């Protein structure tokens, strides 16, 4: 069973990422742009490198972002990683 992180060491953050087993191909969440028209989906911006990704210090907020993104019909799956 994997450990559940509730506290972070200095320099560590939670990131919303695509669960790719090969780290160089992993994609990070950069931002979510809200929909402009009622029936449009929000635009998801992906960061190619970790330094451009959105950092979270709260696991609950990161999990809620990942759950929201997983409900969208874009086909991309997201999870939370500690790095």
Q: What angle (nearest 5°) sits at the alpha carbon of residue 53, between those of residues 25 and 15?
A: 80
Residue whose pair of structure tokens reads 């790095």 in the numeric block: 83
Q: What is the pLDDT of residue 52?
A: 93
Does residue 9 form part of some domain?
no
Does residue 58 form part of some domain?
yes
Per-10-residue mean pLDDT, the chain, length 83:
66 89 83 83 88 92 92 85 87
Q: Answer yes or no: are the C-beta atoms of 77 and 70 closer than 8 Å.
A: yes
Does residue 5 form part of some domain?
no
Does residue 26 form part of some domain?
yes
**In the chain, how many domains are there?**
1
Does residue 13 form part of some domain?
no
Q: Residue 74: give the domain boundaries.
A: 21-82
């Amino acid at each position: 069973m994997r450990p559940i992180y509730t506290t972070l060491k200095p320099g560590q953050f939670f990131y919303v990422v695509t669960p790719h087993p090969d780290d160089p191909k992993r994609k990070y969440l950069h931002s979510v742009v809200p929909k402009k028209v009622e029936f449009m989906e929000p635009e998801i911006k992906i960061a190619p490198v970790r330094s451009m990704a959105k950092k979270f210090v709260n696991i609950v907020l990161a999990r809620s972002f990942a759950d929201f993104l997983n409900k969208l019909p874009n086909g991309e799956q997201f999870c939370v990683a500690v790095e």
